[in-house]
Amino acid sequence: MKQDVEKKIIDAARELFYEKGFTGVTVRDIANKAEVNLALLHYYFRTKDKIFEIVFKEAFALLFKKLNKALSSDVNLLEKIKLIVESYITAATKYPQLASFIMHEMSVNKDVVWQIIYSQEGKKDVNDNYNRFFQEIVDAGQNGIIKNIDPKILFIDIMSLSLFPFMANAFLTGFLYSEKKAEYNEMIKNRINRTCDLIINDLKV
């Protein structure tokens, strides 16, 4: 089936791009991994850039779609923070190289990547959700529900604690957890709780 071949190609491309980045992968690599003829790959997607665009768009959505839902959900502030942490870490657990891929391509491939991001709709909604969440934090601070804190700092702390352990996978499994992959996995499994504890403990007045 046509759908079948297209899927095989994108699946292979996703895996390779996540692992090695755009410049680290050749279309021949993709064709081989997908077990598809090289010319056929070009027949379906025309250029390497097109394939990358599809993979990157999808990756971006994977990491931020659930986040957006968490941001706009109708629960109290601390619950919302938990949802945000959860959205990052479940996405990263499912696709361990997702965060590195996005961050790396965003800084290496700036022009291409921003064009892709801008071509996405719903950007305004996302911003609205961010701003509402940030306002909630400021309000909660002024009402003495949590301590006063710059919402952007809080957001960076959350992202840092959630995503870094995945982005540093090679480093951590090479040093801290060398020969101890199971212990690394255990750490990852507990990462949602650990992150929430740290963040929420810090917010106490």
Partner DNA sequence: GTCTATATCCAGATAGAC
Partner DNA sequence: GTCTATCTGGATATAGAC
From the list DNA, a second copy, none, pick the one residue 189 interacts with, judged by a Cβ distance below 5 to 8 Å according to partner type: none
Applying CB under 7 A, among 32, 40, 114, 120 the residue interacting with DNA is 40
Q: Does 187 contact a second copy by CB under 8 A?
A: yes
The counts of H helices and E strands in the chain are 12, 0
Question: Quick check: 94 and 14 in contact, CB under 8 A?
Answer: no
Q: How far is CA 171 from the centre of its chain?
A: 19
Q: Which stretch binds DNA (CB under 7 A): 22-30, 92-100, 151-159, 182-190?
A: 22-30
Q: Which of 21, 118, 134, 117 is nearest to 63 (CA)?
A: 117
SS3 119: coil
From the list a second copy, DNA, none, pick the one residue 176 interacts with, judged by a Cβ distance below 5 to 8 Å according to partner type: a second copy
Q: Which of 51, 66, 60, 61 is nearest to 17 (CA)?
A: 51
Q: Does 83 contact DNA by CB under 7 A?
A: no
Amino acid letter for position 37: N
Q: Does 204 contact DNA by CB under 7 A?
A: no
Minimum distance of a second copy from residue 162's CB (angstroms): 8
**How many chain residues touch DNA (CB under 7 A)?**
17
Spell out, one character per residue from 104 to 143, where the chain touches a second copy: x when CB under 8 A holds, - when not: x-xxx-x---x--x------------x-------------
Question: Quick check: 184 and 173 in contact, CB under 8 A?
Answer: yes
From the list DNA, a second copy, none, pick the one residue 167 interacts with, judged by a Cβ distance below 5 to 8 Å according to partner type: a second copy
Rounded to 10 deg, the angle between the 48-72 and 98-108 helix axes is 120
Minimum distance of DNA from residue 95's CB (angstroms): 22
